[in-house]
Amino acid sequence: MDSKNVLSIWLVVGVSLLFNGVLILGSGIYEWIYPPVEKVVLFQYHAGVWWGGLLTVVGAAYCWHFAPSRQRARNAAADAAMRKA
């Protein structure tokens, strides 16, 4: 198997974090706009918004860093350095 054509597992983790973060963030924003009748303890801190936002940012960073196009560029730079040496 050629290691240049393999997707990083961290890209899959990033996509999962991004997807779940968007869902949690959307749910938190919805709860903020339409608060439930019976609120949980510490509802005023809107943990869903904070947690969803954090997951979204971390997931987007992972997706950007481990994108296949960036991996190809890193591999090309490493190959060029190997040929020079």
pLDDT by 10-residue block (mean), the chain, 85 residues: 74 97 98 94 95 98 92 81 81
Q: Taking Cα atoms as reference points, which of 49, 9, 58 lies closest to residue 27? A: 49
Residue 80 resides in a domain: no
* pLDDT given for residue 32 in this prediction: 96
Please tell me the distance from the alpha carbon of residue 83 to that of residue 21, in angstroms, as a whole number.
Answer: 42
- Our measurement of the distance from residue 63's CA atom to the centroid of its chain's CA atoms, rounded to an integer in Å, reads 6
Structural domain including 68 reads 8-73
- Give the pLDDT of residue 4: 60
Q: What is the pTM of this model?
A: 0.81
Asked if residue 49 is part of any domain, the answer here is: yes
Q: Which residues contact 32 (CB under 8 A, 6 or more apart)?
A: 46, 49
Question: Does any domain span residue 45?
Answer: yes
What pLDDT, on a 0 to 100 scale, did the predictor assign at position 45?
Answer: 96
Q: Is residue 27 in some structural domain? A: yes
* Token output for 26: 């959307």
Predicted local distance difference test score (pLDDT) of residue 73:
80
Does residue 84 form part of some domain?
A: no
Q: What is the pLDDT of residue 20?
A: 98
Does residue 82 form part of some domain? no
In total, how many domains does the chain have? 1
Whether residue 83 is contained in a domain is answered as: no
